[in-house]
Every structure is written in C-alpha cells, then in structure tokens.
Structure 1
Amino acid sequence: MFVVLGANGRAGGETARALLEMGQPLRVFLRRPEQAETWRKLGADVAIGSIEDAHGLADALLGASGAFLLCPPPESGDPYLRAEELGRALARAVREAALPRVVALSSVGARHETGTGIIAMLNILEKHLYGVAPSTTFLRPGYFVETWGEVAQFAISDGVLPSFLAPEQKIPMVSTIDVGRTAAELLCDDFRGQRIVELSGPRDWCADDVATAFGRVLDRPVKTAFVPVEARLAILVQDGVSPDVAEALLGMYGGIASGRVAHEAGNEHLYGAVELIDAVERIVRHMVA
C-alpha cells in the first residue's frame, strides 16, 4: 500500500490516480472529511488528519510500502517558517512509522537556500527529509503547465494570457499528469538510498509557446501580456494572496528570470510525455465544462 498526501491538489491528485491505474493499493491522507467519499468510490482507503500532526500522520503511514510527501504553500504567514514546521513534522512521522520509501515533491531550483522565492521552502523540506527513510527520492519538476489555468479565463474571454514570465524565455515546464505518473513509478521501483530526480516536459517552453497553444485550442489568436515587475504585488494582493506569500511567489519569478531556477548538473533527469497543446486543451476543457 502507498500513501499520498495532497490528493486533492494537482501533483498529489495525479500521483494518486496514477497509482490506482497501476492497480496499487492506495491510502490518501486528507484534511477534510467531506473530501473522502470521492476517493473511496475510486477504490482508495482514506485517512483524515493534518500533516502538522506528526503522530496522526505516522498512524496513516504505518505499514505502507512508501509515501508521496509534499509541503503545500501556506495561505498566509511566513512560508519559510511554515516549511520548517512541516519539514520537522513529516520527518518525525516517517521515522515513527519506519516508512521504507519516500518520494517528496520538490522543484527545479530547490538546491538554493535563497534567491528562488517560495521554492526555498522545498530546500528546507529536502534538508529535513534527507536520510529519514532507506529510500528517499526528491522529485524536482519544472514549472507546472497547469499553473496557467489560474489565468486561462483571460485567454478564453479576451485572447490575452497574463504572464509573470518573460514571453520568450524558455524554461523547464511539465504537466502535472507527468509529475503524477513519474512519482508513482518512483514509488514502485526498487531504488535504495538518497537521490534527486529532475523532471521536464518533452521540451522547454516559454510563455509565448503557451499563448500559441491556447490559440490553437481556442481557434483564435491569443497573445502574451507580460506583467511588469512593479505591478505584480498589487495584483496578487488584490486577488487575496497574503503579502508574505505574495512576496515569496514573486521571488520565485525573479529567480526564474535570473536563471537561478534551473536544472542542476549531475542529477538524474527524466522527460515527460504530455505535450503542451494537450495539457492546455485539458485546462480549457475543465474551464468551459
């Protein structure tokens, strides 16, 4: 049996579904009881609790062959303090449950302690989880293509794709479908030790590539609208993002622009199979459904 945290999120949900498709026994660890029935209907066992509760999480991990762990960004407060707290709780739960295998969601750029904004949370997570299980894999994917779903409404309604990424800067991007499939495969392999696996899509893409993909799916022109640095904080705060979290998110985009969020030589590097056009088509399909 495998345990998946964050099953109602992007990467966790795809990992859980991939494991079920592989015929693997699955337990999802959820925060809210009302989310449980959907997963039970899919054939998963369900545990309810908080990842801050190390003992409760350890109970859910007990007897598992492995687990997919993550550190979700906070809704408010200091993201880096939050990462320290969650990293300690996750490490304690893994040790208490004597869990043999961990796949932890990280990110390209997580090798840096600073200069990457909210990605630095994952540097903290990696430090807490390193060596806590006989087999520990830090999965470092690129920028999630599905993140563009947060602004897809503007592409659909106005033919404009707002972007904090420079229109022509190609960066590692990957669909969360590939993240989930890869995480599930890594949980099922027989690796022992500590490793970092970086994951990209079939090729690197830029914001203009994403706009072009939206245009192809919608069958009308879509253009990238680059948001100036000085305008971004106000936009995020207006959208309800707390100032601390907004600053951390903007730090990530600064790290991407500077080239700091990039692949690290010497790590294992895998490539997903989901093309940009297919990922964007799924985003649009969900938006107009």
Structure 2
Amino acid sequence: MASPNFTPAPGFPGARRDATAQAAAIQRAQPGKVLMLSSIGGQRNYGLGLITQVYMLEEALAPLTMPIATLRPTWFMENSLWDIAPARETGEMPSYLAPLDKPYSMIATVDIGAIAARTMAESWTGRRVIEIEGPKRYTQAEIATLIGQAIGRTVVAKPVARAEWEARFREQGAEWPEPRIEMIESFNSGWIDFEPAGVNEHLVAPTPFETVLAELAKIA
C-alpha cells in the first residue's frame, strides 16, 4: 500500500519514490502473490488529486509477473469522524461532496481488512482488480441524519462553498491544497468512480454506516 499522505509535496515525490522502492523490493523477493491496496478511480491517469499516489503504485507494480490482486475500495465511512465535532457543536455537517442528494458509495475499513485477509488466502493467476463498496449508497443529507441519530441531536448537511475550500484546507495544514480539491471535484463530477460493470470483480461488503457512526461517536 502507499503510505497515507494528505499533505504531499508538489508532484508527489514521496509517493513516486516509495512506489519505485516497493516494486523493486517485491521483484527481489519474488513472493508467490501480491495484494495491493489502491482506491476507487485507481485506473485513471489524471484528475485524481490525492489518489494519484496509489495510481503511481499501481503503475510501478504493473511490470511484475507474479499474481497480483489490487483492491479498489471506495470512500471510507470513517472519514465522517471529522464531521462529528462540528455536528455536535452546531447541528450542521459541513459537506464537500455535492450535490447533497447524490448517493455516493461508501465502505467501512473493517470490511476492507476482512476482504484483504480473505483474498490473501485464495489462489489465482495473473491480475485481479477487486472493487469494494458497502451495502448501500448514501447521500450527504442521509449521512447527516445518521450522524444526528448517533450523537442524539438533529443534524443537517451544509455544503461548503467552493470558494472556501483552499483556505479551509490550508488551515488544516495543507501547504499544497490542490490535490485535495481536485480529488473532491472528481468525486463530485463522477470522474472518480468504479469501472463499468463486468470489467472487474465487484464486492458489496456488509457493514452499514450506522454501525461505523456508532463507534465514531464514542471517540469523537
């Protein structure tokens, strides 16, 4: 997997270096199979923003000849951890995904781990791409309602104006906010998405958003 980095340097030099090093190490070790954690949209070669970092790893591993399975999970449900504090304080859930009534695929990280473990116990030849999403797709309005149920107050989704994104991300420590902006815009436009049905394996995992939010509400 690529090392998580939400504040990369321009051009993603760290991700490029890590991808090259991982590919070289795997080539030397010659394991019987490889499991790679990528992301929804990992097949795109531009317009990915932060997801560019896993695309680089996919490309670095492409020349390897051993069996490789690439997991492409969708948006993590656990990202809602950052929404709980403002929801508690104001009754509003700031939303960058838009429109508020558009359903987005979501996945619990526990399901990613379970599928990764199960896949590693399997045998296969060649290349596999396994897309992963949760049991249903959720709108931002629905997620706000679910957060409200988890914390015991009414919560509504409030879109964050596009003109505010850069300043907000810089306040959060991003010296180069463009990749985060590009990623969100590409989710909103549909550019970051799964490939058409039938192209890859596509798994629907069982954990609902309510379960994840109940746990997040305990720690946020």
Instruction: Give the TM-score normalised by the residue count of structure 2.
Output: 0.93
Q: Equivalent residue for 2:200?
A: 267
Within 5 A, what are the aligned runs for 1:1-289?
69-73=1-5, 75-78=7-10, 80-132=12-64, 134-166=66-98, 167-243=100-176, 246-265=177-196, 266-287=199-220
Q: CA RMSD in A?
A: 1.5
Secondary structure in structure 2 of the residue aligned to 1:151:
helix
Q: Does the Cα contact within 8 Å between 1:71 and 1:122 map onto a contact in 2?
A: no
Structure 2: give runs of 5+ residues left out of the alignment: none
Q: Does the Cα contact within 8 Å between 1:196 and 1:267 map onto a contact in 2?
A: yes
- Deviation (angstroms), 1:152: 1.7
Q: Does the Cα contact within 8 Å between 1:130 and 1:194 map onto a contact in 2?
A: no
Structure 2 counterpart of 1:161, which letter?
M
Counterpart-to-counterpart distance in 2, 1:148 and 1:272: 18
Structure 1 counterpart of 2:119, which letter?
L
Structure 1 counterpart of 2:209, which letter?
L
Q: Does the Cα contact within 8 Å between 1:102 and 1:133 map onto a contact in 2?
A: no
Instruction: Give the TM-score normalised by the residue count of structure 1.
Output: 0.72
Q: Does the Cα contact within 8 Å between 2:8 and 2:14 map onto a contact in 1?
A: no
Structure 1: give runs of 5+ residues left out of the alignment: 1-68
Identity across aligned pairs (percent)?
26
Counterpart-to-counterpart distance in 1, 2:77 and 2:185: 18
Counterpart-to-counterpart distance in 1, 2:65 and 2:217: 40
- Deviation (angstroms), 1:79: 5.1
Counterpart-to-counterpart distance in 1, 2:64 and 2:73: 21
Counterpart-to-counterpart distance in 2, 1:172 and 1:74: 21
- Deviation (angstroms), 1:131: 4.4
Secondary structure in structure 1 of the residue aligned to 2:12:
helix
Structure 2 counterpart of 1:284, which letter?
A
Q: Does the Cα contact within 8 Å between 1:99 and 1:133 map onto a contact in 2?
A: no
How many positions carry a matched residue from both structures? 217
